[in-house]
């Protein structure tokens, strides 16, 4: 032994935990993995959705999931691991039932995101990339989630929680912990991280009609235009 152990600078990187061999992957999962592969002109294109499905079944990217993907696609487990460790949404350790994200990219951070993260860490008793002992929550310091006009932003299981405050964040966590119905501000009723991962993999949950069409900020320009009587020109006014 050299005595030198490689330590990554990136807190969320690292290898897939090969020691934890537990899995729920069964024949149904394998059939669904094959179904995903068949949706693309070339099967390997399905690898990202397939890994989302593995997470929905095993709560993380499991060694058995990596082998199943490799088998279905006819590639090596090293190739699958290489992909699984590149993307931040793939978890190498079990995520919580609810995966909470707090945006701390520049704009959200200065508008309160840093303070929100501090409060949520304290409330949950865990830091980023950790999971509570009871498995209910995992926490992530997320990057810009394309909702800057609703800053500061949090996400739960990749559903928007817009215009957050520390008080709202605490209530959100209490309500989720108590198993109450919680609705995203621009999305559906919160289900679970695993169910969300299944939808991302490509198996709909029938909730597309839940939630509003848009948030207030999204409609601001249109509502001002309506109030002022502003509109795009009429085609007949612009004909050559």
Partner 1 sequence: MTDLLTPVLSANWGTAKSWDIGAYAAGGGYAALDKAFAMTPDQVTELVKDAGLRGRGGAGFPTGMKWSFVPKDNPNPKYLVVNADESEPGTCKDIPLLLASPHTLVEGMIIASYAIGCHTAFVYIRGEVLHVVRRLRNAVEQAYAAGHLGKDIHGSGYDLDIIVHAGAGAYICGEETALLDSLEGRRGQPRLRPPFPAVAGLYASPTVINNVESIATVPSIVVNGSSWFSAMGTEKSKGMTIYSLSGHVTRPGQFEAPLGVTLRELLELSGGIRDGHQLKFWTPGGSSTPILTGEHLDVPLDYEGMAGVGSMLGTKALQVFDETVSVVRTTLRWVEFYKHESCGKCTPCREGSWWLVQLLKQFEDGVAAPGDVDKLLDICDNIGGKSFCALADGAVACVTSAVRHFRPEFEAGYHTPARELFPYGRSALFEVPEGSHA
Stretch that binds partner 1, among 24-32, 130-138, 170-178, 196-204 (CB under 8 A): 196-204
Among 86, 92, 126, 173, binds partner 1 (CB under 8 A): 86
Q: Binding of partner 1 at residue 31 (CB under 8 A)?
A: no
Interface with partner 1 (CB under 8 A), residue from 14, 34, 130, 215: 215
Q: What does the angle CA 150 – CA 198 – CA 19 come to, to the nearest 5 degrees?
A: 105
Is there binding between residue 95 and partner 1 (CB under 8 A)?
no
Q: Which of 2, 7, 8, 9 binds partner 1 (CB under 8 A)?
A: 9
Binding residues among 122-141 for partner 1 as defined by CB under 8 A: none
Rule CB under 8 A: say whether 40 interacts with partner 1.
yes
Among 30, 31, 38, 214, which residue sits at the site for partner 1 (rule: CB under 8 A)? 214
Judged by CB under 8 A, the chain residues 148 through 187 that form the site for partner 1 are 148-152, 155, 157-160, 165-166, 184, 186-187
When asked if residue 14 is in the footprint of partner 1 (CB under 8 A), the reply is no
* Least gap, CB of 189 to partner 1 (angstroms): 11
Would you call the peptide bond into 152 cis, given omega within 30 degrees of 0 as the criterion? Answer: yes
154 closest CA partner among 176, 175, 185:
185
Structure tokens at 102: 């707090």
């Amino acid at each position: 032994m050299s005595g030198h152990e490689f330590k990554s600078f990136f807190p969320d990187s690292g290898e897939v935990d090969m020691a934890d061999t537990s899995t729920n992957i069964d024949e149904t999962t394998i059939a669904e993995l094959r179904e995903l592969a068949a949706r693309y002109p070339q099967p390997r294109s399905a690898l990202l959705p397939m890994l989302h499905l593995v997470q929905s079944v095993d709560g993380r990217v499991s060694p058995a999931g990596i082998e199943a993907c490799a088998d279905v696609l006819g590639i090596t487990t090293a190739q699958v691991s290489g992909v699984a460790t590149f993307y931040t949404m793939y978890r190498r350790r079990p995520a919580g039932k609810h995966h909470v994200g707090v945006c701390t990219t520049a704009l959200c951070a200065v508008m309160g995101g840093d303070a929100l993260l501090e409060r949520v860490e304290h409330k949950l008793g865990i830091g980023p990339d950790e999971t509570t002992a009871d498995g209910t929550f995992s926490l992530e310091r997320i990057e810009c989630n394309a909702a800057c006009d609703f800053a500061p932003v949090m996400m739960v299981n990749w559903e928007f929680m817009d215009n957050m405050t520390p008080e709202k964040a605490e209530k959100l966590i209490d309500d989720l912990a108590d198993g109450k119905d919680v609705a995203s501000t621009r999305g559906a009723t919160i289900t679970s991280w695993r169910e969300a991962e299944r939808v991302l993999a490509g198996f709909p949950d029938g909730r597309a009609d839940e939630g509003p069409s848009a948030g207030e900020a999204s409609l601001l320009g249109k509502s001002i235009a309506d109030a002022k009587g502003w509109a795009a020109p009429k085609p007949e006014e612009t004909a050559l």
